[in-house]
Chains A and B, each alone.
Chain A
Amino acid sequence: MSEAAMTSTGEVLPNGLKGVVEDFSADKQAFHVPWGKAMMWIFLLSDTFIFSCFLISYMTVRISATDPWPIPSEVFALSFGGDPIPLVLIAIMTFILITSSGTMALAVNMGYRKNRKLTFWLMIATALLGASFVGMQAFEWTKLIVDEGVRPWGNPMGAAQFGSSFFMITGFHGLHVSAGVIYLLVVAFRVKNGFYERRGGNYEIVEIVGLYWHFVDLVWVFIFAFFYLW
């Protein structure tokens, strides 16, 4: 990276630590990105703390539980006629979310290339993958509640805290995915019908939606590691 960077207005900015001081010093724009993007990042930071609180409380109840913690590998195993395969549905959900992250990254790229048609279809593909993720989650919840008898206050497999941790963490994440699907659809159809063309042809909104969507995938990475694999 060079010693200095130039913004679109021709202003020359120093990089590195000197750049941090320069960017934060009084009475001027701190982040040289569109305001919507800076705001989305700050929202995602706050969301990081919310999910951290959920995962930390899960850690706390799991450490302090005196009953054995149900083994996720067995609880979430699924059988297709033969022997049950451990965590198979969760693995499929993980791959679906990664696939949707890939289509979203491409949509952001196509947005900046002003290829409206491809941006639209890539965002629709992302939304469909997200919706199928929520569908599988609904299936998983049904299986756990109806077949396994897991409740927020207890379950037949072990520590009572398993249910409340599971429903809070995956429920809140599923809510984020559902909101993301709606957000994606709204922006995708606005891209398609020329809404952003009439506002100067700026497609940074696609990158902002992308930030939200990648964050949902990011949270899943942590849930997968700590709740399902640990």
Chain B
Amino acid sequence: MASSEGQQHPLTIYFWIWGLLFVVSGFSYMVDYLQLQGALRWTLIIVFMFVKAGFIVGIFMHMTWERMALKAAILLPPIAILIFIALMSIEADYTFLTRIEFFGESDFVVEPVHH
């Protein structure tokens, strides 16, 4: 399908994706509402996030129907972000350990809030 004619798709697909986005957003809210913790919480947050992102980019932004050259030009560069995340989390861990080493554990006390 050449996209130079414009993106023209049946309305039902938009209503379906719209509904699914609501349902998946409801799921991600439930993760917090039910106070799920630990690995289960983080896994569910990431999964629901990527499902929603996929629906938005793939269907609402019509990326599914674009040619491979445009898909590659837009979707491949963000992979570099993963490397950035890895580098900065290593750096942040190092900073945290250095702070503990030199300044000791936190002695944070909650201040009273004045209204």
Interface residues, chain A, CB within 8 Å of chain B?
A: 1, 5-8, 13, 15-17, 19-20, 23-24, 30-34, 38, 41-42, 44-45, 48-49, 52, 56-57, 59-68, 73, 86-87, 91, 94-95, 98, 101-102, 104-106, 108-109, 112-113, 147-149, 156-158, 203-204, 207, 210-211, 214-215, 217-218, 221-222, 224-225, 228-230
Assess whether B68 is in contact with A229, with CB atoms less than 8 Å apart. no
A sample of 14 more A-B contacts (CB under 8 A), given A207-B62, A221-B56, is A13-B2, A33-B70, A42-B74, A57-B88, A60-B89, A66-B96, A66-B103, A91-B29, A112-B6, A147-B113, A156-B111, A203-B6, A221-B52, A229-B41
CA distance A73 to B88 in the complex (A): 25
Give the docked Cα–Cα distance between A225 and B27 (Å).
Answer: 12
- Type the 1/0 row for B21-33, where 1 means its CB is closer than 8 Å to any CB of A: 1100100110111
Picked from B6, B41, B57, B91, the residue with its CB within 8 Å of the CB of A60 is: B91
- When the two chains form their complex, are residues B7 and A108 in contact, meaning their CB atoms are under 8 A apart? yes
Rounded to whole Å, the gap between the CB of B74 and the closest CB of chain A is: 5
Q: Give chain B nearest CB distance to A105 CB in angstroms.
A: 5
**B32 close to A73 (CB less than 8 A):** yes
If A7-B2, A68-B106, A105-B18 touch, whether A23 touches B85 (CB-CB below 8 Å) is no
Please indicate the chain B residues that have their CB under 8 angstroms from the CB of A33 in the complex. Answer: 3-4, 66, 70
Q: List residues of B whose CB falls within 8 A of some A CB.
A: 1-9, 11, 14-15, 17-18, 21-22, 25, 28-29, 31-33, 35, 41-42, 45-46, 48-49, 52-53, 56-57, 59-62, 66-70, 72-74, 77-78, 81, 84-85, 88-89, 91-93, 95-96, 99-100, 103, 105-106, 108, 110-115
Top 10 nearest A-B pairs (CB, nearest first) are: A63-B92, A23-B69, A64-B95, A102-B18, A225-B49, A67-B108, A60-B92, A66-B106, A156-B111, A64-B92
Q: A101 to B59: give the CA distance in the assembly, Å.
A: 11
- A214 and B66 CA atoms in complex are apart in Å by 16
A102 to chain B, nearest CB (A): 4
A6 and B2: CB pair below 8 A? yes
> What would 9 A/B residue contacts be, using CB atoms closer than 8 Å?
A5-B2, A13-B67, A41-B70, A56-B85, A66-B106, A91-B29, A102-B18, A102-B21, A221-B53
A5 and B81 in contact, given A86-B33, A98-B21, A156-B111 (Cβ under 8 angstroms): no
Please name all residues of chain A whose beta carbon is closer than 8 Å to the beta carbon of B61 when the two chains form the complex.
210-211, 214-215
With both beta carbons as reference points, the residue of chain A lying nearest to B103 in the complex is identified as A66
> Which residue of A15, A49, A105, A211 is within 8 Å of B14 (Cβ)?
A105
Most buried by A among B9, B69, B77, B85: B69
Instruction: Give Cα A5–Cα B5 distance, bound, in whole angstroms.
Output: 12
- When C-beta atoms are compared, the residue in chain B nearest to A46 turns out to be B77
B32 A86 Cβ-Cβ under 8 A: yes
